[in-house]
């Protein structure tokens, strides 16, 4: 029996490569010990080298979600405002409530992108403690270019912390990761967050990082706890960063699958937002999400539509077969 596709969490569909398994046997023999810190230091140095920054500019965490939690804890006092686009990462309102902050939720643009102009206006007029930008955005997959992002950051007052959440940046062939890292290290109020859960396929190991300047790094470290990142996770992340050929090949394959799935859905009469991430969004069509779930395909939904993770070709075929059978619900004629 073919397993039902789980296309709601934006996981990478590829299993770990054999190169990842090298250091694990030795490390598994040491799991009775707390992390030593040596693997964290090696990963921090490699992340800094790849991003053109210093190791002291990097803060590791158990996935970017944990790093984001640290940022909210460091920046948001009770009663402080937090601005972000909705729909977006579902943890933003949770972090805000945990800190007893006040959410300022900004709808997406007509094109389902982040409304940077409105966020900048809020930053100037209301001076929130923090504002967050997902790039590429989730659930729409719409990216913000490096020049547009730099112009936006320049408009935000320095007392407002700007979070650039780049959980999906590797899937965007036009992304410039060093450009956003430079923004973070050159401005005192900008922090970039990234994860190994998505493009590097390490969701089960929980490893991510932030890049920021000295003040924000010190504040994040002050809110952090020891032993939250395992040696296993660090070792696996190091191997994925070193194996650039495998990573690039997988990104090329996934982008091609994204394009194939997008074209197939459109050929079946469904609108699809052009995506720079590892998922596609079908605006509206609540009946389609239910149709997929009834067929055993798990997807996620939001106020703007159905988000489908790009999986294997077999996953895409299941989705397209369901799309072929989909019939939009008919609405009874109005009388009166």
Residues of the chain above pLDDT 90, percent: 82
Q: 9 lies in a domain?
A: no
Based on the fold, state whether residues 26 and 119 are members of the same structural domain. yes
Based on the fold, state whether residues 199 and 230 are members of the same structural domain. yes
Q: 13 lies in a domain?
A: no
pLDDT at res. 332: 43
Q: Are 106 and 151 in contact (CB under 8 A)?
A: no
Based on the fold, state whether residues 222 and 280 are members of the same structural domain. no
Based on the fold, state whether residues 232 and 253 are members of the same structural domain. no
Q: 335 lies in a domain?
A: no
Based on the fold, state whether residues 66 and 101 are members of the same structural domain. yes
Question: Residues in the chain with pLDDT < 70?
Answer: 1-3, 15-25, 329-336
pLDDT at res. 333: 39
Q: 1 lies in a domain?
A: no
Looking at 204, 223, 242, which one is the last position of a domain? Answer: 242
pLDDT at res. 18: 53
Based on the fold, state whether residues 87 and 227 are members of the same structural domain. yes
Based on the fold, state whether residues 311 and 237 are members of the same structural domain. no
Q: 172 lies in a domain?
A: yes
**195 class by beta-carbon count within 10 Å (0-12 exposed, 13-18 middle, 19+ buried):** buried
Looking at 242, 258, 277, which one is the last position of a domain? Answer: 242
pLDDT at res. 314: 95
Entry pTM: 0.90
pLDDT digits (tens, 9 = 90+) for 185-211: 999 999 999 999 999 999 999 999 999
What gap in Å lies between CA 155 and CA 136, rounded to an integer?
20
pLDDT at res. 102: 98
78: number of Cβ within 10 Å:
8
Q: 133 lies in a domain?
A: yes
Based on the fold, state whether residues 73 and 207 are members of the same structural domain. yes
φ and ψ of 280, to 5 deg: -125, 150
Based on the fold, state whether residues 117 and 192 are members of the same structural domain. yes
Tokens standing for residue 313: 């070709």
Q: Domain limits at 300?
A: 245-325
Based on the fold, state whether residues 198 and 263 are members of the same structural domain. no
Across the beta sheet with 305-309, the strand order is 279-283, 305-309, 300-302
Based on the fold, state whether residues 212 and 127 are members of the same structural domain. yes
Looking at 185, 219, 242, which one is the last position of a domain? Answer: 242
In sequence order, which residues have a C-beta less than 8 Å from that of residue 50 and are 6 or more positions away?
177, 241
Q: 120 lies in a domain?
A: yes
Q: 11 lies in a domain?
A: no
Domains in the chain: how many in total?
2
308 Rama sector, left if φ>0, alpha if ψ -120 to 50, beta otherwise = beta
pLDDT at res. 2: 57
């Amino acid at each position: 029996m073919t397993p039902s596709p789980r296309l709601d969490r934006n996981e990478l569909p590829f299993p770990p490569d054999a190169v990842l398994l090298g250091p694990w046997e030795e490390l598994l023999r040491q799991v009775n010990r707390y992390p030593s810190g040596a693997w964290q230091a090696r990963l921090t140095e490699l992340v800094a080298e790849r991003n053109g920054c210093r190791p002291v500019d990097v803060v590791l965490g158990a996935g970017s979600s944990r790093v984001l939690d640290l940022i909210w804890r460091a920046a948001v006092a009770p009663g402080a405002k937090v601005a972000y686009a909705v729909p977006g990462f579902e943890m933003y309102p949770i972090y805000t409530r945990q800190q007893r902050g006040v959410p300022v939720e900004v709808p997406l643009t007509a094109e389902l992108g982040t409304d940077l102009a409105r966020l900048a206006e809020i930053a100037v007029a209301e001076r929130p403690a923090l504002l967050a930008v997902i790039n590429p955005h989730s659930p729409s997959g719409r990216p913000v270019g490096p020049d547009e992002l730099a112009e936006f950051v320049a408009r935000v007052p320095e007392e407002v912390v700007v979070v650039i959440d780049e959980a999906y940046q590797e899937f965007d062939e036009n992304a410039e990761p060093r450009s956003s890292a430079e923004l973070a290290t050159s401005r005192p109020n900008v922090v970039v967050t990234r994860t190994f859960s998505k493009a590097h396929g390490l969701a089960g190991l929980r490893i991510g990082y932030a890049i920021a300047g000295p003040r924000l790094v010190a504040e994040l470290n002050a809110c952090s706890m020891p032993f939250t990142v395992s040696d296993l996770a660090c070792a696996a992340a190091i191997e994925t960063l070193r194996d650039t050929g495998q990573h690039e090949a997988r990104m090329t394959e996934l982008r091609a699958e994204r394009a194939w799935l997008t074209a197939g859905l459109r050929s079946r009469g469904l609108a699809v937002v052009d995506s720079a991430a590892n998922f596609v969004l079908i605006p509206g069509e609540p009946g389609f999400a239910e149709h997929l779930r009834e067929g055993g395909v798990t997807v996620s939904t939001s106020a703007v539509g159905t988000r489908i993770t790009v999986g294997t070709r077999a996953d895409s075929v299941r989705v397209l077969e369901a799309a072929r059978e989909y019939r939009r619900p008919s609405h009874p004629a109005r009388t009166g």
